Chain A
């Protein structure tokens, strides 16, 4: 039955030794030994998915080195083979098995990867606030564009990530960074380029709250200095991060 052969070959492709052995009797002997011919497919699958992960996690690969990354990728792809045939969405959990600062780098890499492929969306600029009376500002909601994401972690690791990602457009931090922790805000700008900036942790909390639908007053409650609000709004509205400005409850 074809399905028996396919079950065996599927396992063989993902490194299952028993499945590999089960597939061999289906094969006709030839000049190239059948186990070596079958292994071509195992190697192709490993190389293809390692490449997919390397494309999604360039900072992790650079930090680990190519050989260690390839070993980690092989473990991941064998434990978590792709479901849908949309490889741009493959690898979400790769960082979970990493240690040290690597999970932070992985989270930032994955956020940048998702930002690149995120759904297109309209955005509003600084003039969007002009339509509202000053007394209405506190209750405004500013949902973020779907490409945006925040990753929190040690300032040193996040700053290193920013320096290593030459493919990303970096915006100067709008507020002083005091550490030891921070957040990196990642999004895809109107020019379709992925961009990022570093924020102090409390500013990260502000942006996170906006993204979750909080009104401006509630979100600003995360800030330790009210003076941070103005530069943060300038950043968000000036770089295409806000999808709309509304004065109603999103629910």
Chain B
């Protein structure tokens, strides 16, 4: 299946930012309607036979549009996607009917062994063939467009032959997939590679962007060199807000999500970040 060239639009999702739903905040959402446009969950957290998580999500989907963000399709795996995992995700998506589904330009397993990390890929024609084949397989199985997220990377490969924007443009052209532009990842990767983030953003295939992620990162000093780590453990920093402003000016309003996964703050802090995303987007569009 080749989806239409442009990603479907979700006007209601683009109007107000969403937040990543984490277990600590679930009671806040169950006891009162919260001022967010939508919620995104990690799909793998809901691949369970039954119990409270699924029951809670059934309730929440009555009040909020839900997006599913998976972390283990292993789109870059040289031996193909995990078909059993794909079947499980398809059943989950059939049950919850998410507004969007996404995963990463990364690999997370090989030969039946899972790796709970988003491992980087050399950007080569061979990798493009593999990722395009895997994305097409996923879209065929799910019967819908997948958004593919640009990853945070901490290393480069000898074989690298393409820039990320070029790679993703080719992937979109070959599969019709959409893209999830993670602005924090773009910034982290640019800094770690010694590249200019604004230049990379200008080369990002914006027409295909169906969703934007915002998050914070950490800074690690290693032998006098700085490595940025995508830990989602703090507020969105100013350089990432500036890139988000730029992305909105380049690409127009897109469904935007604030992620915060470690050192979780009280929900009002996260909601304030979502409100700030709305303000930045609104100002950029004036």
Interchain nearest-CB distance for B185 vs A (Å): 15
Interface residues of A (CB under 8 A from B): 1-3, 5-7, 9-10, 13-14, 25-28, 30-34, 36-38, 40-41, 44-45, 48-49, 52, 81-88, 116-121, 146-147, 188, 192
Check: B108 CB closer than 8 A to any chain A CB: yes
**Among B49, B76, B159, residue most surrounded by chain A Cβ atoms (within 10 Å):** B49
**CB distance B52 to A116 under 8 Å?**
yes
Check: B266 CB closer than 8 A to any chain A CB: no
CA–CA, A244 to B106, complex, Å?
A: 47
In the complex, chain A residues whose CB is within 8 Å of the CB of B82: 84-85
Could you jot down 18 A-B contacts, CB within 8 Å?
A: A2-B76, A2-B124, A10-B111, A14-B113, A28-B157, A37-B222, A40-B154, A83-B112, A85-B44, A85-B85, A85-B108, A88-B45, A117-B49, A118-B50, A118-B51, A120-B54, A120-B55, A192-B55
Say which one of B10-18, B114-122, B196-204, B275-283 lies at the interface with A: B114-122
In the complex, chain B residues whose CB is within 8 Å of the CB of A5: 122, 157
Interchain nearest-CB distance for B175 vs A (Å): 18
**CB distance B159 to A82 under 8 Å?**
no
**CB distance B156 to A28 under 8 Å?**
yes
In the complex, chain A residues whose CB is within 8 Å of the CB of B158: 25-28
Do A82 and B113 form a contact, CB below 8 Å, given A28-B160, A33-B223, A37-B155?
yes
Check: B47 CB closer than 8 A to any chain A CB: yes
**CB distance B51 to A120 under 8 Å?**
yes
Contact partner of B78 (CB less than 8 A), chosen from A6, A27, A146, is A6
**CB distance A2 to B227 under 8 Å?**
no
The secondary-structure label for the interface of chain B is: mixed
Do A6 and B227 form a contact, CB below 8 Å, given A26-B158, A45-B117, A87-B116?
no
Do A27 and B156 form a contact, CB below 8 Å, given A45-B117, A88-B47?
yes
**CB distance B110 to A6 under 8 Å?**
yes
In the complex, chain B residues whose CB is within 8 Å of the CB of A188: 51
**CB distance A34 to B155 under 8 Å?**
yes
Check: B187 CB closer than 8 A to any chain A CB: no
Check: B109 CB closer than 8 A to any chain A CB: yes
Do A2 and B122 form a contact, CB below 8 Å, given A28-B157, A31-B225?
yes
**CB distance A81 to B114 under 8 Å?**
yes
Contact partner of B126 (CB less than 8 A), chosen from A1, A34, A52, A116, is A1
Interface size on B, residues (CB 8 A): 56
CA–CA, A96 to B97, complex, Å?
A: 40
**CB distance B155 to A27 under 8 Å?**
yes
In the complex, chain B residues whose CB is within 8 Å of the CB of A86: 44, 47-48, 85, 88
Interchain nearest-CB distance for B228 vs A (Å): 10
CA–CA, A37 to B76, complex, Å?
A: 20
Check: B260 CB closer than 8 A to any chain A CB: no
Interchain nearest-CB distance for B4 vs A (Å): 29
Interchain nearest-CB distance for B77 vs A (Å): 7
**CB distance A3 to B119 under 8 Å?**
no
**Among A1, A7, A40, residue most surrounded by chain B Cβ atoms (within 10 Å):** A40
Check: B234 CB closer than 8 A to any chain A CB: no
Interchain nearest-CB distance for B98 vs A (Å): 18
CA–CA, A40 to B194, complex, Å?
A: 18
Find residues 71-129 in chain B having any chain A CB closer than 8 Å to their own CB: 71-72, 74, 76-79, 82, 84-85, 88, 107-117, 119, 121-122, 124, 126-127
**CB distance A118 to B49 under 8 Å?**
yes
**CB distance A6 to B107 under 8 Å?**
yes
Check: B229 CB closer than 8 A to any chain A CB: yes
In the complex, chain B residues whose CB is within 8 Å of the CB of A6: 77-78, 107, 110, 119
CA–CA, A34 to B47, complex, Å?
A: 35
Interchain nearest-CB distance for B223 vs A (Å): 6
In the complex, chain B residues whose CB is within 8 Å of the CB of A9: 119
**CB distance B115 to A33 under 8 Å?**
no
Check: B243 CB closer than 8 A to any chain A CB: no
CA–CA, A37 to B85, complex, Å?
A: 29
